[in-house]
Structure 1
Amino acid sequence: MSLSSLPPATGTSAATAAPTQAELLDFVRRAAADAELIASLPLDPEGRTWVRLAGPGGSEAWLIGWPPGTGTGWHDHADSVGAFVTAAGELRENALAARLPTDGWKTLELSDGVDRERRLSVGKGRAFGRHHVHEVLNESTDRHAVSVHAYYPPLPQIRRYSRSGQTLRLEQVERPQDWQ
């Protein structure tokens, strides 16, 4: 089955309300289970690869290949909600269980106990809300990972952070035109 033949997530269509986190998670789970789709992604031994997919209800969706030892760095997806599922290999998500201010800061001191780690093997994933700060990593030394991601609304921006201990620093704000 190709992704274009996947039916929209339950309860969504282009003419209905925005897809929910649960509907995005349902979509990425179904896409990640599509062996033909996952096998179609070209993998590069040096850098991440990606293919844009048609997500449900006007969402933005991606199939992403992760070479061994690669990751995203700390970031958020601004005002978008999202979901992702591992389709091959294993990914680790480090996330902050804290609501951060959305604007007007460059450096924050994080409280103890805000760090969360999830190991996401094949078929495992999660949905997340707006302003979710995380990093995603393929820690394997010899195996690619593949994942499916969906965001709604389509990504208006990504904020990138650096982290040293409990200090989180806003480093860059990227917008869609920066990804062309």
Structure 2
Amino acid sequence: MTVVDTRLDHLAIATRFAAAPEQWPVAPRFNPVDRWYHRLNVTGDYEVWLLTWLPGQGTDLHDHGGSAGAFHVFGGTLTEETVSVASGRAPRITSRELGEGAGRRFGTHHIHRMTNRSSRPAISVHVYGPALTTMTRYRVGAEALEVLSVERAGVEW
């Protein structure tokens, strides 16, 4: 049997937390105005967040300030749009739908947005390592990504 070292496998950590909702310190809540989130755990290597999404709720394009990570869809369906930028070319957006039980790892330079485009609420578990300190928000310009803002943990969220 192969043993997975979950200390650095962010998707394995997210999946492990998603498999034990009875151990979450709070029950998921839904906010009709904006997505709801709560930090479930933090260690020296990573942090774990629980997020809820009503239909139509989502994020702006953003990165994770140099942190790598993963997310696991606990319930419902989420759409992730990722941005790739090649030198001298316009940014390209790729979309993928992830249903209940699906998950995805991402690296330190990942730029994406997530949206609940379904008609049902969604719940997801996200892991970031190291813990988030900043997030940069972007918009897609005609020829390049444009920075809208840089938010700092503990100040803007």
TM-score (norm 2): 0.84
Conserved in 2, the CA contact under 8 Å of 1:93 and 1:119? yes
1:115 maps to which of 93, 99, 103: 93
Q: Quote how far apart the aligned CAs of 1:46 are.
A: 2.5
1:134 maps to which of 112, 115, 120: 112
Distance 1:164 1:139 in 2: 23
Q: Call closer, same or farther: CA 1:128–1:31 in 2, change over 3 Å.
A: same
For structure 1, which segment, 49-58 or 115-124, has the greater mean C-alpha deviation from structure 2 after superposition?
A: 49-58
Helix, strand or coil at the partner of 1:172: strand
Q: List per-residue Cα deviations over 1:39-92 (Å, max 9, x = no partner).
A: 921222332111111156531110000111011110001210010011111000
Conserved in 2, the CA contact under 8 Å of 1:27 and 1:56? no
Q: In structure 2, what residue type is equivalent to 1:110? A: A
Q: In structure 2, what residue type is equivalent to 1:26? A: A
Query: Where has structure 1 moved over 4 Å in runs of 4 or more?
Result: 164-167
Kindly report which structure 2 residues correspond to 1:22-37, keeping only aligned pairs within 5 A, or say none: 23-36=9-22, 37=24
Kindly report which structure 2 residues correspond to 1:140-155, keeping only aligned pairs within 5 A, or say none: 140=118, 142-155=119-132
Kindly report which structure 2 residues correspond to 1:5-154, keeping only aligned pairs within 5 A, or say none: 10-11=4-5, 19-20=7-8, 23-36=9-22, 37=24, 40-55=27-42, 58-98=45-85, 110-111=90-91, 114-140=92-118, 142-154=119-131
TM-align CA RMSD: 2.6
Conserved in 1, the CA contact under 8 Å of 2:136 and 2:149? yes
- Percent identity over paired residues: 36
Distance 1:119 1:81 in 2: 20
Distance 2:81 2:37 in 1: 21
Whose strand fraction is larger, Structure 1's or Structure 2's? 2
Helix, strand or coil at the partner of 2:154: helix
Distance 1:165 1:86 in 2: 32
Distance 1:116 1:38 in 2: 35
For structure 1, which segment, 72-81 or 156-165, has the greater mean C-alpha deviation from structure 2 after superposition?
A: 156-165
Q: Call closer, same or farther: CA 1:38–1:62 in 2, change over 3 Å.
A: same
Q: Which runs of no fewer than 5 residues in structure 2 stay unpaired?
A: none
Conserved in 2, the CA contact under 8 Å of 1:38 and 1:87? no
Aligned counterpart, 1:177:
154
Distance 1:121 1:38 in 2: 24
